[in-house]
């Protein structure tokens, strides 16, 4: 019986998501909610997958204890409760569901916008208390007002379209989104400070990272229009809450609406005593539809990754479409073999790895191909686990600079991948192609043309081009009772006549004694036994 992947669900998720996990025969699912850090550390070691929402914190100590963990799924958008760098270093994929609850969060933003402009919570409380004071709660129309949207991802764009439908002027700021994309959602791009100074309403839809922490501080609040209003349904740490309290108390800001806080719940916060702020308990994803969507989405992503290795929606991997991944996968397998090969042939510290794509492969996204070449290289050199998640991080830690290049021209091939490892004293280059678009072949080592299936055990030599070398190698292999599957003696493509290589596919690895014997042969300059 095939061993099943063990998955821990550490926060409550919708029944549909849980049932999807439990119905998959490849998974064994446990639900253990309410675990603190110590509790999670105590049990996490046996699990391959972990699903959380916002409550459970996946800290560096938890990740250090997760000896089998392959993936962490966050049913929601924000991953600030997960130590993503620590997960990346350990090669653990982190997933979130950035679009599954986008509509719900955008609609909550609009609800807050309307609540602020018409004083709906205050008016409700007034009527319930027995008062009838319509003149006290005179509001402000949204039509014709300017709303400034900071952060123009999926949620920001949905907010923009809805605000445009309310006949508002829509401004947006996001350094990673082009003006053309903003225009598609009826938004006009603005620099951040200009947006803050000119907007009647400012709404936040950006992630909480070091650069955005306290993005709306006292200085920026001071630049806002007198009587402007601020909305935050993204992350609490985006706003300096002390500065916000001061601006609301002084009357510089007419109001604020918050769904998120620096500390949740915001017990003892001075915000609780202000009448011109609307507070909700982190309701951004709290609709039946969103709860179902994020739970099903994260369950599907985790199942797909654990059973196939596909990670289209990973936070710590480049996001690539399924169509691109399917086209890239055969080249990734080739790049993995080339990385292993160049790592086996290169002595000493590598300072640079260069991946070059030629011909039709140059049309594809190079990142997953380069990642696999790094995996192949580093697996030969590091004792710890190396995969496409942590390969780039581990390369940087080893002082390896990674470069990519591409060209439409592939010379003698429809497509070609070259991988070069650079040291202080030498550069080793290997190249491969796909026959029929699917069968990997090694076609060159440095300037020597070869043809080999990059799979199995190999013996490689660099030697003087003279009679008897191949015979001597064959004699040693025969004595060791190791069969030769295929042999190729490389021809120098640059016309060199005094040097040659031999690439021999063998049935089993050679002993150190036999390798030493080969190295002692006078014509041999280098001998390497390796497995691809």
Cα(299)–Cα(303) distance, integer angstroms: 6
Cα(256)–Cα(415) distance, integer angstroms: 57
Contact by Cβ (8 Å): 333, 440: yes
- Pick the catalytic residue: 4, 6, 282, 393? 282
CA of 341: how far to CAs of 347, 438, 488, in Å? 12, 19, 16
- Pick the catalytic residue: 67, 125, 191, 264? 264
Residues 6+ apart with CB under 8 A from 358: 406, 407, 408, 409, 410, 411, 413, 415, 416, 417, 418
Which of helix, strand or coil describes residue 403? strand
Contact by Cβ (8 Å): 513, 479: no
Cα(346)–Cα(381) distance, integer angstroms: 11
Contact by Cβ (8 Å): 11, 74: no
Annotated catalytic, 401?
no
What are the φ/ψ torsions at residue 450 (nearest 5 degrees)?
-140, 175
CA 395 to chain centre: 16
Annotated catalytic, 408?
no
Which of helix, strand or coil describes residue 215? coil
Contact by Cβ (8 Å): 239, 263: no
- Pick the catalytic residue: 18, 162, 235, 463? 235
3-state helix, strand and coil shares in percent for the chain, rounded to the nearest 5: 35, 25, 40
Cα(184)–Cα(168) distance, integer angstroms: 16
- For 457-517, the DSSP string reads EEEEEEEES-TTHHHHHHHHHHHTT--EEEEEEEEETT--SSEEEEEEEESSPPPHHHHHH
- Structure-block tokens of residue 131: 């008062």
Q: 3-state SS of 278-339?
A: EECCCCCCCCHHHHHHHHHHHHHHHHHHHHHCCCCCECCCCCCCHHHHHHHHHHHHHHHHHH
Annotated catalytic, 22?
no
First to last CA, the chain: 28
Q: Which of 401, 380, 382 is nearest to 338 (CA)?
A: 380
Cα(48)–Cα(69) distance, integer angstroms: 4
Task: Indicate which residues carry an active-site annotation.
Answer: 235, 264, 282
């Amino acid at each position: 019986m095939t061993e099943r992947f063990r998955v821990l669900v550490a926060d409550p998720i919708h029944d549909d998501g849980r049932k999807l996990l439990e119905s998959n025969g490849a998974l064994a699912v446990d639900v253990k909610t309410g675990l603190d850090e110590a509790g999670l550390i105590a049990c996490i070691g046996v699990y391959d997958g972990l699903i959380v929402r916002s409550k459970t914190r996946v800290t560096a100590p938890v990740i250090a204890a997760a000896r089998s963990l392959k993936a962490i799924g966050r049913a929601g958008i924000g991953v600030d409760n997960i130590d993503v760098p620590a997960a990346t270093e350990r090669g653990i994929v982190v997933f979130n569901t950035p679009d599954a609850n986008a509509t719900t969060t955008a609609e909550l933003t609009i609800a807050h916008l309307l609540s602020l402009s018409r004083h709906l919570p205050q008016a409700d409380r007034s009527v319930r208390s027995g008062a009838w004071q319509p003149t006290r709660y005179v509001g402000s129309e949204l039509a014709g007002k300017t709303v400034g949207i900071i952060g123009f991802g999926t949620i920001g764009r949905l907010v923009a379209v809805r605000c445009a439908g309310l006949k508002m002027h829509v401004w947006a700021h996001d350094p990673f989104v082009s003006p053309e994309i903003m225009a598609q959602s009826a938004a006009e791009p603005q620099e951040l400070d200009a947006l803050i100074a000119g907007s009647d309403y400012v709404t936040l839809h950006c992630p909480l990272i070091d650069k955005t922490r306290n993005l709306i501080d006292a200085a920026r609040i001071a630049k806002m229009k007198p009587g402007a209003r601020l909305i935050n349904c993204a992350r609490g740490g985006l706003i300096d809450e002390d500065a916000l309290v001061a601006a609301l108390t002084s009357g510089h800001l007419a109001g604020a609406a918050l769904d998120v806080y620096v500390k949740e719940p915001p017990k003892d916060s001075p915000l609780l005593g202000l009448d011109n702020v609307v507070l909700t308990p982190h309701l951004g994803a709290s609709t039946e539809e969103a709860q179902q969507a994020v739970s099903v989405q994260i369950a599907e992503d985790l199942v797909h990754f654990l059973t196939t290795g596909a990670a289209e929606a990973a936070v710590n991997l480049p996001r690539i479409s399924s169509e691109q991944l399917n086209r890239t996968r055969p080249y990734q397998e080739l790049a993995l073999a080339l990385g292993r090969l160049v790592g086996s042939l290169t002595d000493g510290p590598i300072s640079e790895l260069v991946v070059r794509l030629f011909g039709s492969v140059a049309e594809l996204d190079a990142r997953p191909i380069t990642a696999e070449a790094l995996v192949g290289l580093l697996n030969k050199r590091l004792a710890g686990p190396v995969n496409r998640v942590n390969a780039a991080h581990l390369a940087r830690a080893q002082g390896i600079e990674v470069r990519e290049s591409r060209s439409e021209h592939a010379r003698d091939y429809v497509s070609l991948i070259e991988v070069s490892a650079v040291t202080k004293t030498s550069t080793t280059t290997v190249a491969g192609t796909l026959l029929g678009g699917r069968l990997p072949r090694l076609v060159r080592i440095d300037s020597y043309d070869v043809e080999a299936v990059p799979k199995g055990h190999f013996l490689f030599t660099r030697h003087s081009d003279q009679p008897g070398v191949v015979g001597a190698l064959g004699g040693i292999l025969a004595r060791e009772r190791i069969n030769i599957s295929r042999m190729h003696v490389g021809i120098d493509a640059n016309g060199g006549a005094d040097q040659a290589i031999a690439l021999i596919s063998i049935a089993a690895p050679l002993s150190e004694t036999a390798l030493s014997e080969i190295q002692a042969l006078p014509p041999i300059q280098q001998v390497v036994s390796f497995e691809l």
